[in-house]
Chain A
Amino acid sequence: MNILETYGLDKSFGPIHAVQNLSLQVEEGQVCGILGPNGSGKTTTLGMILGTTQPDKGSYRWFEKGNGPEMNRQIGALVEGVGFYPYLNLIRNLKILCRIKGVKESDIERVLRLTGLWSRRKSKFSTLSFGMKQRLALAGVLLGDPKVLVLDEPTNGLDPEGIAEVRELITKVAETGKTILLASHILDEVEKVCTHVAILKQGNLLVTRPVDGLTKARETVLLAASSRSDLKKALDESGMVASMAVHGEDGFEIELIKGVQAAELNKKLIGSGIVLTRLEMKKQTLEEQFLELVKHN
């Protein structure tokens, strides 16, 4: 089942075209990372699918049904800039969210314990540190155990320990089969917790696919032999190499022609009298793929 479908979403702020004709599908159980540099339209996209930003064009629907308050109540969402009353304590702030969602107030203890804020439950929101505020927002997201989480830069402002905790929390939640949309510009974060990724640049959706597929999409092979010139000649003659670059003192980093396996190349090189001293498959990291995509689009 598709949890979220967007059709041609478009949004401009004056002369800035923040999101352009964005069509996206997120299936049930996916942990979908929305990646993009600052200003790429991630937050605007989330704002539109959560109903806080009005799209100029296009539409979207949740759970293959529609959109609006009823759908939002089934979603836990954290967006940039948490919205709580500074003069209320944590319990009262969460009570408001419970009333809106129709969740029992007894759930407040669970989420505050889960986010490590139970001991501060009677503190006013204004007295919390930035990291604690972020954790309270996460607690609000988890109220009522929603099926879908939408998280915009959830580790922003957290210390390393807090970042690790939030990542662990997201991974744990994802393991329960929940669908998560995670907007971030931290590639490492997305690579660690996401199953799928959508990359945005200047409001355009560049690519959407599984993280694994993306990192495997451009696999290269590191090769080395006792004589680099002989190796180069054999590689040129093999007809199996799509691109080649010098790597280290005695080798090359090559990209194989589609469908060719490294073992086949090795066999051919042996046939040409070349004995490899190194044969290593190198997967491109998400960061490398991302930078390449952003650079070339």
Chain B
Amino acid sequence: MKKLLRIETIKVMPYGVFQVLGILYLISFILSIIILPQIKLETSINEGSTDLLDLPSMFSFPVIWDTYAYLAAKSNIYLAILVIFLAGNEFSYLTFRQQVITGLSRSDLLNGKVLTIFAISLANMVVIFLAGILYGVIFTSGYSGWDMISHLPSLGIYFLQAVSYMLMALMLAVWLRNKTLAIVVLLVWSVILEPLIRLVLRKYIWVKIGLFFPVRVISRLSPFPENNLMDMIKQNANALTADFTQSLPLWANLLLAGGYGLLFYFIARKILLRRDL
């Protein structure tokens, strides 16, 4: 495992796309945690005026961990594209083939990429943790030690979310062996196809079936934190917003996301073990 991780480090660190996407990811995350707390969405409820988003509270302990996990998860697409680049390159550069010839097993090829995914997710979690501690300590007034850590498991859940989504991207890269095609399929599936299928199946088969789809399950691991806006949306839920507000219990989403991650891994493994390189 150590050997695989070292090999991956030699490959990945000087890679331009890794550096660019990593920087883009960090910039988008940092910008979002700087800009978002300044936004106010005021509305009149009864006689008083209420900030619907109440963003300052979302960036205070303990909710800050849920908020950061949500924001980081929104940028997971960069990480998924990075994984597609890393795995797709191995086919286009013929390096997977070279490494099998030199003495790596086909499982090692895949495990190296899975380790990279774990390492990226872990590094990401550390960045979020440090940013959260820093921001929370500076901008939260009157917090206890328990407030600081009580929502910390959100980061662990985010870790699973990032890993599962990147495993989906890895499976696509191994299956399609073409970076551009894999990125297009990932985006089309995540943004257009799966939501459409969910909508159609909800209408004609079972209203809750959409909750079991992979992108939906993975994305619901780090939901938009509870606040006035969410309460209002839930109260006024209709057919369109139901897809946004409805969710399986957290434990079910965790199990399903883990299951999907494993499924993506085993599909990629089967493809890699069977195919000529």
A84 CB, min distance to chain B CBs, angstroms: 7
A99 to B101, Cβ gap below 8 A?
no
Set of chain B residues within 8 Å of A77, measured between Cβ atoms:
101-102
Q: Please report the C-alpha to C-alpha distance between residue A83 and residue B91 in the assembled complex, in whole angstroms.
A: 9
Set of chain A residues within 8 Å of B15, measured between Cβ atoms:
87
Between A72, A86, A92, A140, the greatest number of chain B beta carbons within 10 A of the residue's beta carbon is seen for: A72
Produce 1/0 per residue, A90-123, CB < 8 A to B: 0010011101110000000000000000000000
Q: Please report the C-alpha to C-alpha distance between residue A82 and residue B99 in the assembled complex, in whole angstroms.
A: 11
A51 at the interface (CB under 8 A from B): yes
A52 to B104, Cβ gap below 8 A?
no
A97 to B276, Cβ gap below 8 A?
no
A127 at the interface (CB under 8 A from B): no
Set of chain B residues within 8 Å of A68, measured between Cβ atoms:
105
B101 to A50, Cβ gap below 8 A?
yes
Q: Which of B3, B6, B11, B277 contacts A85 (CB 8 A)?
A: B11
B14 to A72, Cβ gap below 8 A?
no
Interface residues on B, range: 20 to 34
How many A residues face the partner with a CB closer than 8 A? Answer: 29
A–B pairs, 21, beta carbons within 8 Å: A47-B276, A52-B97, A52-B101, A53-B277, A54-B276, A69-B100, A72-B101, A73-B103, A77-B101, A82-B94, A82-B98, A83-B96, A83-B98, A85-B93, A87-B16, A95-B10, A97-B98, A99-B6, A99-B7, A100-B7, A100-B102
A88 at the interface (CB under 8 A from B): yes
Within residues 110 to 147 of chain A, which ones have a CB less than 8 A from any CB in chain B?
Answer: 140
A234 CB, min distance to chain B CBs, angstroms: 60
Knowing A86-B93, A96-B11, the reply to whether A52 touches B100 (Cβ < 8 A) is yes
Q: Please report the C-alpha to C-alpha distance between residue A101 and residue B100 in the assembled complex, in whole angstroms.
A: 11
Set of chain A residues within 8 Å of B102, measured between Cβ atoms:
72-73, 77, 97, 100-101, 140
Set of chain A residues within 8 Å of B108, measured between Cβ atoms:
69
Give B18's nearest chain A residue, CB to CB.
Answer: A87
Produce 1/0 per residue, A50-83, CB < 8 A to B: 1111100000000000001110110001010111
